[in-house]
C-alpha cells in the first residue's frame, strides 16, 4: 500500500495492513462492480453535471486503517460551498439534539443503575448545585463526547435534488470502489472518518476500530437498528476489528446488497 500520512504515530497501528486474500477479493469485486455498473454510473455523472455547479466528486481527507490519512471519494450530493455551512447548521445536528438531556442538569444519583439502596457506587460530585454519582457522570460524559463527534442534519438544505436520490439509494458511495482499488479501503471494514472525528477517538477504548480496514460497508451499517447511539457504533467497530473474518465479511456483504436501494438512515 505504500507510504502514507498517519494521524497517530503508533507502531501497533502503522504496522497493520490488509491481508493478501482480502486484498485480492477487494480488487476483483471493485473492478467488476465498476465495469458492470458503468452505464448507470455514466447517467449519474451526466445528472450531476447538468443539475448543479461544482466538481463531480466530493473529496475529503479521512482517517482509515492504522490511522492512515487518505483522500476519500463520493459523488457530490451538495451544492458548491456546502462545507462552509456546517458550522451554521451545527445546532441542528441530530446526534447533539438527541442527547441534550444528558447535560449535567439532568443527571442525578438516582439514575445510576449501579447504585443500590441509596448507597452510592462511587463518590458524589456537586456540579452547579446538583449531586451526581461520579461513575454515572463520567459515563455520561463519555457518551456525550461520542454523540457530539458525529454530524447529521435531517432534511439537510445543502443537498441537491439529484444528491438526495443518490444518498437515499447509497449510490453516492460508488466512487469508493476507486479507493478500494487504490488500496485505501476494503469492501468490508469500519467506515473511514473525518479528521475532526478521529481527533475525539484516540483513547485506547475507542482506537481499536482503527485496527480494522477502512470499509465501504461494515458491521454497524447492516445492524437492524439504524439509529444506533454513537457509543454502540464504536463498540461494533471494535468488535469487527477484533473478530472479523472472511465468513463474517461475506455475511455483511449479503446483508448490504438489499440495503443499497433502501432509504439511508445513518452513513458518514
Q: Which of 184, 188, 199, 186 is nearest to 59 (CA)?
A: 184
Classify residue 267: in a domain, yes or no.
no
Classify residue 93: in a domain, yes or no.
no
- Based on the domain organization, do 66 and 171 belong to the same domain? yes
How far, in Å, CA of 174 to CA of 177, rounded?
6
- Please tell me which residue, 92 or 119, carries the higher pLDDT value: 119
- Based on the domain organization, do 225 and 134 belong to the same domain? no
Classify residue 95: in a domain, yes or no.
no
Domain count within the chain: 2
User: Is a pLDDT exceeding 80 seen at residue 195?
Assistant: yes
Q: What is the pLDDT of residue 93?
A: 46
Query: What percentage of the chain reaches a pLDDT higher than 90?
Result: 35
Q: Which of 183, 187, 259, 249 is nearest to 32 (CA)?
A: 187
- Based on the domain organization, do 55 and 121 belong to the same domain? no
Contact (Cβ atoms closer than 8 angstroms) between residue 215 and residue 72: no
Classify residue 163: in a domain, yes or no.
yes
Write the pLDDT tens digit of every residue in 101-124: 444 444 444 466 666 556 666 666
Q: Give long-range contacts, CB 8 A cutoff, 24+ apart: 30-37.
A: 30/177, 30/178, 30/180, 30/181, 30/187, 31/181, 33/174, 33/177, 34/174, 34/177, 34/178, 37/174
> What is the residue whose three cell numbers read 455523472?
45
Give me the domain span that covers residue 130.
Answer: 100-147
Question: In terms of C-beta density within 10 A (0-12 exposed, 13-18 middle, 19 or more buried), how is residue 52 classed?
Answer: middle
- Please tell me which residue, 259 or 176, carries the higher pLDDT value: 176
Q: Which of 106-120, 123-137, 194-208 has the highest mean pLDDT?
A: 194-208
Residue range 48-72: mean pLDDT, rounded: 92
- Based on the domain organization, do 191 and 253 belong to the same domain? yes
Classify residue 92: in a domain, yes or no.
no
pLDDT bin (cut points 50, 70, 90) of residue 197 is confident
- Based on the domain organization, do 165 and 201 belong to the same domain? yes
pTM of the entire predicted model? 0.70
- Based on the domain organization, do 27 and 138 belong to the same domain? no
How far, in Å, CA of 140 to CA of 130, rounded?
15
Q: What is the pLDDT of residue 172?
A: 94
How far, in Å, CA of 200 to CA of 150, rounded?
10
Classify residue 268: in a domain, yes or no.
no
Phi-psi region of 212 (alpha: psi -120 to 50; beta: other; left: phi over 0): beta
Question: In terms of C-beta density within 10 A (0-12 exposed, 13-18 middle, 19 or more buried), how is residue 57 classed?
Answer: middle
Classify residue 63: in a domain, yes or no.
yes
- Based on the domain organization, do 182 and 220 belong to the same domain? yes
Amino acid at each position: 500500500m505504500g507510504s502514507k500520512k498517519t494521524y497517530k504515530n503508533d507502531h501497533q497501528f502503522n504496522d497493520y495492513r490488509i491481508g493478501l486474500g482480502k486484498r485480492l477479493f477487494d480488487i476483483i469485486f471493485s473492478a467488476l462492480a465498476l465495469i458492470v455498473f458503468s452505464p448507470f454510473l455514466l447517467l449519474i455523472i451526466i445528472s450531476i453535471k447538468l443539475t448543479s455547479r461544482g466538481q463531480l466528486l466530493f473529496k475529503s481527507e479521512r482517517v482509515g486503517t492504522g490511522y492512515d490519512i487518505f483522500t476519500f471519494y463520493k459523488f457530490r450530493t451538495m451544492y458548491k460551498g456546502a462545507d462552509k455551512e456546517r458550522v451554521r447548521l451545527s445546532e441542528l445536528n441530530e446526534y447533539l439534539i438527541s442527547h441534550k438531556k444528558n447535560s449535567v442538569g439532568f443527571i442525578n444519583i438516582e439514575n445510576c443503575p449501579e447504585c443500590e439502596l441509596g448507597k452510592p457506587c462511587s463518590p458524589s460530585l456537586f456540579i452547579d448545585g446538583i449531586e451526581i454519582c461520579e461513575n454515572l457522570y463520567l459515563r455520561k460524559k463519555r457518551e456525550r463526547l461520542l454523540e457530539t463527534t458525529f454530524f447529521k442534519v435531517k432534511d439537510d438544505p445543502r443537498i441537491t435534488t439529484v444528491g438526495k436520490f443518490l444518498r437515499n439509494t447509497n449510490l453516492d458511495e460508488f466512487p469508493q470502489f476507486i479507493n478500494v482499488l487504490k488500496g485505501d479501503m476494503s469492501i468490508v471494514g469500519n467506515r473511514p472518518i473525518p479528521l475532526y472525528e478521529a481527533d475525539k477517538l484516540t483513547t485506547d477504548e475507542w482506537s481499536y476500530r482503527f485496527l480494522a480496514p477502512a470499509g465501504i460497508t461494515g458491521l454497524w451499517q447492516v445492524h437492524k437498528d439504524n439509529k444506533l447511539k454513537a457509543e454502540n457504533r464504536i463498540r461494533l467497530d471494535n468488535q469487527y476489528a477484533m473478530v472479523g473474518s472472511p465468513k463474517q465479511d461475506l455475511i455483511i456483504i449479503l446483508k448490504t446488497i438489499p440495503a443499497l436501494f433502501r432509504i439511508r438512515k445513518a452513513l458518514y
